[in-house]
Amino acid sequence: MPHEPEHINLKIFAREPAPRNLAGAIPVFHRWIQDSALNELLIDVADYRHVPAGPGVILVGFEANYSLDLTESRLGLLYNRKKPLPGSLADKLRQAWESAWAACRRLEQEPEFRGEMRFDANSCEVIFNDRLLAPNTPETFEALRPELEEFFAGLWGARTFTLARVGEPRERLRVHAAKAPA
Amino acid sequence: MKASNPFWKDYLEGQMPPHLASEIDAFESDLALRRQGKIDERVFAEIRLRRGVYGQRYDSGQRHDGRTTRTLAYPDGKPTKGPNTVWDAPGMQRIKIPFGGLNARQLEVVAELAEEYADGVAHVTTRQDFQLHFVHIDDTPTIMRRLAAVGITTREACGNSIRNVTACPLAGVCRDETFDVTPYAKMTAYYLLGHPECQDFGRKFKIAFSGCKENPCALVRMHDMGFIAAVREIDGAVRRGFEVYIGGGLGTVPYQAKLFAEFLPVEELLPLAVAVARVYTKYGEKKNRNTARIKFLVNKLGIEEFKRRVEEERAGLAHDPRWGEMLRAIPAYQEGPLKDPSLLPITGPPPEGFERWSRRNVYRQRQVGYAAVTIALPLGDITADQLRRVADLARKYTRETVRTTVEQNLVLRWVSEADLPALYAELEAAQLAEPVAGSIADIVACPGTDTCKLGIASSRGLAAELRKRLLAQGVHEDGAVSNLHIKISGCFNSCGQHHVADIGFYGVSRNKNGYTVPHFQLLVGGQWEENAGSYGLAIGAVPAKRVPEALERITRRYLSERTFGESFGAFIKRIGKAECKKMIEDLMHVPPHEEDPSFYVDWSDAREFTIGDLGVGECAGEVVSPVDFQLAACEREAFEAQLLLEAGQIERAAQAAYAAMMHGAQALLRFKLGSCPEEPEAVYQQFREHFYDTQLFFDPFAQGKFAHYYFAAHRRNGAAHDAESARQQIEEAQLFLEAAHSCYARMLSARAGK
């Protein structure tokens, strides 16, 4: 792996049955901008509900985007880090998880979703949004595995989870992480 | 912005054509110089535009969040990337795709860029480009390098330059074409790219090629310069050439291109293009961008004088050896199939939904046994995953023969017919098999308020809503309305091509008791066929939230009252615009805010619709100000002008349009001064003094353009009109009145703020 990975994306999946209608996300995300709900610069809301298996509704920010993402027709909160961060990969994963999970908790409370939006803290996907810093190869995955394991061990406990490289070679490197059932 | 940016240059070394690599290096240096403050912001803005790096909404660093206008707190200490344009604010990257032609690897790279630098979606435009939104300017050199490595340049995708050269997406496989225009479009695009004679235009310049006259695929007659394939027998030999049109364009006031030459031999194509560029450079407007498109020059000179000057320039052109070289390369251009021709198997049941899809999305090529398949994209949007699937299918079923279309779709050409069921099944799995191509649900929309700085209302929001409802009703599948075209622009600038739709819309705003309400002007009577054969005219502004109802009324009325075989256009003509307006008149009413606040919020938005920080006026009740009444009366006058034009009363129509503008000016003068004169010259003088010289009437982007419509009409009042000039004056009157509404809203806002 030639360089330190950057631009971590992290998707925390919604619990089934997940809401099918994301119209509520539009006022919610606009309100987050109005209320400066997150401690970062939030710019606008992009509505892609018309695109099947697409980005859903995006809260566009300067440091990161947050979206109720429908890629692979599976709803989740996608945190897309845009601004580079200092620190190790584990630090960057931690920051991404904390930001994403905080957004999930906030979404769960929003009245527009009437309690139907619930997220699963026991599984997620990590996407390395840079094909040059983190090429989608088995070698990169193996090189990153120790830091991924360190992070998820801290989150879920040692030896309680699985990591798998998913998707096809042309995609960005994507790692599915799941906590083993107790 | 991307940590990997510095590494891509080395990584791609040797993969980029050297001339593209050095151009991108130069652009990167310009970025560095601008960061150091060594390039003026205006100069830098044009530099980046000529690389396809465009601004986006809110890049001024201000945004109204529905409650108040806020400063977006971007990091300090950076320069602007143009006047009033914050460096760190997201922008748009336009990617030029000459004649819409793409191969599989290029699709994959666009997918990668959409994922890594934008929002995961690539957007196909109405001019066969791709656009990526929410892009940081620091990432653009890397984006360009990755595109260059697969043979794509973004050069002159925006700015005052030759824009993407478009062509019919069925060129070469069309059953009606005279010959395949693809290699000629390609030759023209690359010959003119960066050509020294095309670097000093006052505005952009758009070129289109069509293989035939009747079909609409290339919309030649709404372009600055358009070519329609033609053949002629000369000295016993059949020679190829083009029917040439010059001076068309939509924009605020649309112009039909004028016939420049009935037959231009192909040998003269490139020399003519250079000669036209010279005339445009020499005589075109440079200072006032509002009258700088070539359509204004052609209109001013008249087509005969324009032609004389072009011929004069042509005679003086030094011979360019590339003219012959490029032309000699044309016969070598060929596009063919991957597989042998075959017929659709008739044994066994086809996959579910195949028949419907096939009826709508499959075009039998003139080459027997092959089909062109349209992949209908909702609002022109496609995800990175879907782009990769299309690349796979292009490799599997064709020789990677993919085109973008001006209807914001993709076309896969040269599919062997026996493969259609399998291809359908794979498209269906990728959610790319919606059977709507070319139907009423295949709505075209510009970016509008989603991302465009000029957008007034949400064209994409409205398009998504209409699309959803039409699909639910199933009207796209069959019947008389299924083939109607709907096109939507977010403002009067026509990027959604609303003038050439059966039913078009463009975004406007209206004031209601101190609130601003999103509306859409509804246009009927436009013609998509015959290369954009005629333009529609507005019949009234409908609140955005009532547009679906207005559409339903019009289409229902057509269904119930049309005569046998009567087209929509013929139906509209028969019943007349006054009757059309009657159909929607009651829908033009806006309930008070306290009764139904949903009218004050645009589609796909949750914020209360405002322009800037316009607040609630002093009138809380259902009170209509005299200015509202007067402007409404002016709109009636403008509409009556249309009816007069429709009745062939040209002079009266022009006079009514002028009167509408003058009365609009009077309404504003009364509001500002408490009184105003009645005599036209005095109205003109006072309006100029109080609204133009003070810039009070100026639109933030169009500046004094709309006032000039009134001034021009005043100057020529009493002079003779023909149908076209009267039509233009009516269009201008409508736009002047839109500007009057906006000006009034700004004045109200200013008073409320005191």
| From B82-96, B248-262, B268-282, B522-536, the region with the lowest mean pLDDT | B522-536
Percent of residues, chain B, with pLDDT higher than 70:
97
Under the banding of pLDDT at 50, 70 and 90, the label for residue B619 is very low
Positions in chain A short of pLDDT 50: none
Residues of B in contact with A52 (CB under 8 A): 378, 431
Answer for the pair B603, B462: CB distance below 8 angstroms, yes or no.
yes
Closest by CA position to B734, among listed B548, B602, B580, B539: B539
Q: How many CA atoms lie within 13 A of B449 on its CB side?
A: 28
> Which of B109-118, B614-623, B682-691 is the least confident region?
B614-623
Chain A hits for B4, CB-CB cut-off 8 Å, are 3, 6, 130, 132-133
CA dist B752 and B474 (Å) reads 48
Query: What integer pLDDT is reported at residue B417 of this predicted model?
Result: 97
Interface probe, candidates A130, A133, A166, A168, chain B, greatest B C-beta count within 10 A: A130
CB contact under 8 A, B66 and A71: no
CA pair distance A69, B115, nearest whole angstrom: 13
Q: Which amino acid is at B689?
A: E
Per-residue pLDDT band at B614 (split at 50, 70, 90): very low
- For residue B211, is pLDDT > 80? yes
Determine whether the interchain pair B88/A44 forms a contact, defined as Cβ–Cβ distance below 8 Å: no
B136 and A82 within 8 Å at the Cβ level: the answer is: yes
Residue B646 has a pLDDT of 84
pLDDT digits (tens, 9 = 90+) for B5-31: 999 999 999 999 999 999 999 999 999
Q: How far is B258 from chain A (nearest CA, A)?
A: 39
Min distance A99 CA to chain B CA atoms (Å): 18
Q: Which residue spans of chain B are classified as CATH 3.30.413.10?
A: 173-332, 439-611
Residues A132, B134: C-beta atoms closer than 8 Å? no
Confidence of residue B612 (pLDDT cuts 50, 70, 90): low
Cα–Cα distance, B135 to B141 (Å, whole number)? 11
Assess whether pLDDT exceeds 50 at residue B618. no
Nearest-CB residue to B388 (from A53, A60, A170): A170
Strand segments, DSSP code E, in B497-536 are: 503-512, 515-524
Mean pLDDT of B88-104: 97
Of the pLDDT bands very low, low, confident and very high (cuts 50, 70, 90), residue B754 is: very low
A53/B11 CB distance under 8 A: no
Contact B1 A131 (CB under 8 A): no
Q: What is the pLDDT of residue B530?
A: 67
Quick check: A131 and B116 CB within 8 A? yes
> At B535, is the secondary structure helix, strand, or coil?
coil
pLDDT score recorded for residue B465: 97
Burial class (CB in 10 A: 0-12, 13-18, 19+), A116: middle
Decide if pLDDT at B356 tops 60: yes
Alpha carbon of A157: minimum distance to chain B alpha carbons (Å): 31
Contact list, B90 vs chain A (CB under 8 Å): 43, 60
| Beta strand ranges found along B495-598 (DSSP E) | 503-512, 515-524, 537-543
Closest-approach residue (CA) in chain A for B108: A170
Q: What is the distance in angstroms between the Cα of A158 and the nearest Cα belonging to chain B? A: 31
Pair of tokens at residue B674: 């408490």
CATH superfamily membership of B624-754: Nucleotidyltransferases  domain 2 (1.20.120.330)
Higher pLDDT, residue B189 or B640: B189
B120–A54: do the CB atoms touch at under 8 Å?
A: yes
Q: Is the pLDDT of residue B271 over 90?
A: yes
Among B11, B119, B388, whose Cβ lies nearest the Cβ of A46? B119
Question: Is pLDDT at B400 greater than 60 in this prediction?
Answer: yes
CB contact under 8 A, B119 and A55: yes
Q: Beta-strand (E) ranges in B5-106?
A: 53-54, 62-64, 69-71, 80-82, 85-86, 91-95, 101-102
Q: Are the CB atoms for B656 and B633 separated by under 8 Å?
A: no
* pLDDT confidence of residue B620: 32
Confidence band (pLDDT; 50, 70, 90) for B533?
low
Cα distance between residue B400 and residue B385, in whole Å = 17
Residue B308 has pLDDT above 80, yes or no: yes
- Chain A nearest-CA distance from B1, in A, is 6
Name the DSSP letter for residue B527: B
Torsion angle of alpha carbons B334, B340, B341, B346, nearest 10°?
A: -150
- B618 by Cβ neighbours in 10 Å (0-12 / 13-18 / 19+) ranks as exposed
Is the CB of A51 less than 8 angstroms away from the CB of B74?
no
Residue B213: pLDDT band with limits 50, 70, 90: confident
Name which of B80-94, B209-223, B370-384 the model is least confident about.
B209-223
CB contact under 8 A, B121 and A54: yes
Q: What is the per-residue pLDDT for B621? A: 33
pLDDT in tens, B413-472: 999 999 999 999 999 999 999 999 999 999 999 999 999 988 899 999 999 999 999 999
State the Cα–Cα distance between residues B377 and B387, nearest whole angstrom. 11
DSSP state of A42: E
- Of the two residues B617 and A131, the one the predictor is more confident about is A131
Query: Smallest Cα–Cα separation from A89: which of A143, A164, A53?
Result: A143
Of A50, A60, A83, the CB nearest to B467: A50
Residue B265 has pLDDT above 80, yes or no: yes
Per CB-CB distance under 8 Å, the chain B contacts of A55 are 119-121, 383
Domain spanning B173-332: CATH superfamily: Sulfite Reductase Hemoprotein, domain 1 (3.30.413.10)
- pLDDT-based confidence at residue B323 (cuts at 50, 70, 90): very high
User: Whole-angstrom Cα distance, residue B226 to residue B206?
Assistant: 8
Give yes or no for residue B131 having a pLDDT over 80: yes
Q: Nearest Cβ partner of B72 from A43, A58, A83?
A: A43
Task: Give the pLDDT confidence score for residue A1 in this predicted structure.
Answer: 57
Q: Assign B719 a pLDDT band (cuts: 50, 70, 90).
A: confident
Domain span(s) for CATH 1.20.120.330 in chain B: 624-754
Strands B402-404 and B381-383: unpaired
Q: How far is A119 from chain B (nearest CA, A)?
A: 22
pTM, whole model, 2 decimals? Answer: 0.89
CA pair distance B196, B749, nearest whole angstrom:
48
Contact at CB, A41 and B74, closer than 8 angstroms: yes
pLDDT of residue B1: 81
Architecture label for domain B439-611: 2-Layer Sandwich (3.30)
pLDDT of residue B615: 26
Q: Grade residue B747 by pLDDT with cuts at 50, 70 and 90.
A: confident
The rounded mean pLDDT for chain B is 92
Average pLDDT over residues B206-230: 90
Confidence of residue B579 (pLDDT cuts 50, 70, 90): very high
Contact B243, B232 (CB under 8 A): no
Residues of A in contact with B450 (CB under 8 A): 46-47
Are residues B453 and B55 in contact, defined by beta-carbon separation less than 8 angstroms? yes
CA angle B712, B222, B401 (to 5 degrees): 155
Q: What is the mean pLDDT of residues B55-73?
A: 92
CATH level 2 (architecture), domain B354-429: 2-Layer Sandwich (3.30)
Beta strands B166-167 and B207-210: pairing type? parallel
Do A53 and B133 lie within an 8 Å CB cutoff?
A: no
Check whether the bond before A17 is cis (ω within 30° of 0).
yes
**Chain B residues near residue A4 by CB distance under 8 angstroms:** 3
Minimal Cα–Cα distance from B57 to chain A, Å? Answer: 10
Task: Calculate how close chain B gets to A178, using CA atoms only, in Å.
Answer: 23
Inter-residue contact B141 to B134 (CB < 8 Å): no
What is the average pLDDT across B139-164?
96
Identify the weakest region by mean pLDDT among A116-130, B231-245, B517-531. B517-531
Shortest CA distance from A2: residue in chain B: B7
